[in-house]
């Protein structure tokens, strides 16, 4: 359920299924989504039939969808996995949309608190990552970020030593780690953060990862301080979807926590190397 909040900007304020779970976490404008604008202009349902599972709007992916205007300020979006939705008549879609609009209320306080608790739990998981070697810490934090954001791919690149760690949760990148590092190094040099892409077919990952197939949406975040680098998380063909407002807010927090944790790991690494160097130098003096 989309409701106009100002001008051409709409927010998702309720629904069923994933439409309930993501309530309050998505914004869309008629400039960004042509089907929404067409439905409001024509005052008729606008159908989408992709064949495969493709982007509908925001983070939503589906095989088929329909934008159904209820009023000039309320639009109901139906999504499905088969052709039944496309075969429905305009009258049937309007009736269903009207019933849905009457049944859905605004985002409840309980839903808002649940979203905040999800954010807190993810940050706790990142803070709880033990500081081991730099590589171990990179991998652990990449996995925490991927899990928290329900992504199948996570990667951390550090400018210090040109290091890369990639984790997969049901989807393995075809490109080798050194190519992933090269792509994220170029991202770091361009300094365009945070950078969220809901449809990777329109804006692919930076070269040489632009050849990677199966990435549906991705988010690039900056790691700062001693741990200057990039955090990448991505959704894939394994579970096509995009990033909600909560996802983007949570990712920013995780990038901040990761920067601190990786900074600690880098400092420990430096201390160990410096202690070994000084020990060797004192050994030369004794000799």
3-state secondary structure 132-162: CCHHHHHHHHHHHHHHHCCCCEEEEEECCCC
Q: Which of 83, 107, 131 is the last residue of a domain?
A: 107
In a domain, 23, yes or no: yes
The helix/strand/coil state of 62 is strand
Neighbours of 200 (CB within 10 A): 22
| Whether residue 252 sits in one domain with residue 180 | yes
pLDDT at 108: 67
| Whether residue 180 sits in one domain with residue 78 | no
In a domain, 52, yes or no: yes
| Whether residue 124 sits in one domain with residue 99 | no
One pLDDT digit (tens) per residue for the chain, 287 residues? 898 877 888 988 888 877 877 877 888 999 888 999 999 999 999 998 877 888 999 889 998 999 999 988 889 999 888 777 888 899 999 999 988 888 776 666 766 777 788 889 899 999 999 988 999 999 999 999 999 999 999 999 999 999 999 999 999 999 999 999 999 999 999 998 999 999 999 899 998 899 888 999 999 999 999 999 999 999 999 989 999 888 999 999 999 999 999 999 999 999 999 999 999 988 888 76
In a domain, 286, yes or no: no
Neighbours of 82 (CB within 10 A): 9
Domain that residue 15 falls in: 2-107
Contacts (Cβ under 8 Å, ≥6 apart) of 100: 1, 15, 16, 76
| Whether residue 136 sits in one domain with residue 97 | no
> Which pair of structure tokens corresponds to residue 209?
């990862």
Own/partner contacts of 5-8, CB < 8 Å, gap of 24 or more, are 8/37
> Which pair of structure tokens corresponds to residue 235?
């959704």
Q: What is the pTM assigned to this prediction?
A: 0.79
- The CATH code of the domain that includes 191 is 3.30.450.40
The DSSP code for 107 is P
């Amino acid at each position: 359920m989309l409701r106009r909040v100002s001008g051409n900007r709409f927010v998702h304020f309720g629904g069923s299924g994933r439409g309930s779970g993501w309530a309050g976490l998505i914004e869309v404008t008629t400039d960004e989504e042509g089907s929404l604008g067409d439905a409001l202009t024509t005052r008729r349902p606008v159908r989408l039939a992709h064949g495969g599972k493709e982007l509908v709007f925001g983070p939503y992916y589906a095989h088929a969808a329909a934008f159904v205007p209820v009023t000039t300020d309320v639009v109901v979006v139906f999504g499905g996995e088969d052709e039944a939705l496309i075969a429905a008549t305009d009258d049937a879609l309007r009736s269903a949309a009207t019933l849905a609009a009457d049944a859905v209320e605004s985002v409840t306080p309980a839903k808002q608190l649940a979203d905040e608790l999800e954010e807190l739990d993810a940050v706790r998981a990142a803070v709880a990552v033990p500081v081991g070697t730099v590589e171990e810490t990179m991998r652990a934090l990449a996995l925490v970020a991927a899990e928290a954001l329900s992504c199948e791919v996570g990667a951390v690149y550090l400018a210090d030593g040109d290091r890369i760690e990639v984790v997969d949760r049901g989807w393995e990148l075809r490109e080798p780690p050194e190519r992933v590092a090269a792509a994220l190094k170029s991202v770091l040099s361009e300094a365009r953060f945070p950078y969220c892409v809901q449809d990777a077919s329109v804006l692919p990952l930076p070269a040489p990862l632009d050849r990677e197939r199966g990435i549906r949406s991705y988010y690039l975040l900056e790691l700062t301080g001693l741990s200057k680098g990039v955090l990448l998380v991505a959704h894939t063909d394994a579970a096509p979807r995009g990033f909600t407002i909560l996802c983007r807010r949570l990712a920013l927090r995780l990038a901040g926590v990761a920067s601190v944790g990786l900074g600690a790991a880098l400092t420990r690494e430096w201390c160990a190397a410096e202690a070994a160097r000084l020990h060797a130098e004192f050994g030369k003096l004794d000799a």
